[in-house]
Amino acid sequence: MEKERYIVILEDQQKSALRKVENELEVSITSSEFLSSENRSFQVIDNDNGVLYKNLGVLVIENGDVEQLQSAVRDESNPIVYFEKERDFFPADEWSIITELKKQSAEMAEKISELEKYMTSKPLPQKPFMEMEWGLKAIGVGNSIYTGKGIDICILDTGLEMLHPDFSGKEIEGKSFIAGEDWSRDPNGHGTHCAGIAAGNIRMDNGKRYGIAKEANLKIAKVLSDSGKGTTSSVIDAIDWAITKKFRILSLSLASAVKLNEVPSPLFETVGARALDSNCIIVAAAGNDSSRPSLPKPVSMPANSMSVMAVGAIDGQMKVARFSNAGLNPATGGNVNVCAPGVDIISSYPKNSKNKNGNYYAMSGTSMATPHVAGLLALYMEQFPEKSAEEIWKWTESRAKPIEGLKYRDIGTGLIQA
């Protein structure tokens, strides 16, 4: 695996300052003045050793801890004033650019082909048989006597495959916000999978429970096209429709990546607050941009708004999912509120080119964690009909279970509990 290097600017190169940097970054620093033709920088730099280019005050390290570097930059007393990831450079002529692009394109095409082949042929995860999927067991659904009866859950996604045997014949209200595409068909499969987690029941092939709020009123808003793409306007349109219909829970397994320290959109902050004022909770995926443990990324939009409940993902070993985004922008919004199961989640899925396993499929993502929360909210709302949306939100966070060794920035108050 290719290692990632970071370029660090130091304001102070005194011995005490260098010792502080060495201790913080757990690296031994060699000054460029001690390099020679036999002892060159590229031979020195590794996981334990960095090189300081003395004339420039620039330090190069291998596999640095991004969080530690960010913390150091924010600390005015720290010698580290800036860092960035090493980037590639190429000869600045047109033919070199074309050659490199061709190379990258060929490598990417090969990787896509391999991943596609694996995804279409991978079997459903075989775990020791229990009466319910691992995610439901982890959040204690079996301990609840509630079913979400009478509570409206609206899934804003790619639609719902109404031909699926788990949904055909049911009274399900829906609306499409994508021109020329019907909410009751889902060639993509993502929306059907999320709907199954929130409001499905048991698998027809083995009788195993996979859905949370089986008696909730399932509502569908198609805001993502069959190819999986949507826009702000389609999402806002659907939220407005759902609030008009007085739906209590809106589940958004969709995300748009944001940068570090990017301020949340006032648009979604306003939308989320107005939804709460209308006794409705918007739950959204924290996003899947991270590459843990070395590179967590900030919570995506719209989950990064304070008035939208952001959901991170954990796996079956109670660890943060490698892709799950983190609350790196808490001062401006963008914190994770709670976490839920999001790895190897089996749920309903249409029969299509991606799914060779019948009516069910395993998927991973904060997309899968989000409907776990939506389904659980329905159980709570049935249990406490007198509580407002804000009170249900606070109750959900207060009931969540901290996971030993995991940080608030990654899982919020913890794993949701029925």
* Structure tokens that stand for 25 in this block: 């970054």
Decide if 64 contacts 83 (C-beta within 8 A): yes
- CA dist 325 and 262 (Å) reads 14
Cis peptide before 293 (omega within 30 of 0): yes
Instruction: Give the residues across from 58 on adjacent strands.
Output: 9, 53
For residue 367, indicate whether it is catalytic.
Answer: yes
The letter for the amino acid at 102 is K
Task: Indicate the burial class of 363 (C-beta count within 10 angstroms; 0-12, 13-18, 19 or more).
Answer: buried
- CA dist 108 and 254 (Å) reads 24
Task: Indicate the burial class of 331 (C-beta count within 10 angstroms; 0-12, 13-18, 19 or more).
Answer: exposed
Secondary-structure percent of the chain, ordered helix, strand, coil, rounded to 5? 30, 20, 50
Q: How far is CA 184 from the centre of its chain?
A: 26
Q: Is the dihedral of CA 122, 125, 131, 132 positive or negative?
A: negative
Q: Which one of the listed residues 166, 176, 186, 190 is annotated catalytic?
A: 190
- CA dist 280 and 251 (Å) reads 11
Residue owning tokens 């600017």: 9
Q: Which one of the listed residues 152, 157, 166, 226 is annotated catalytic?
A: 157
Q: Which one of the listed residues 300, 367, 372, 410 is annotated catalytic?
A: 367
Q: Which residues are catalytic?
A: 157, 190, 367
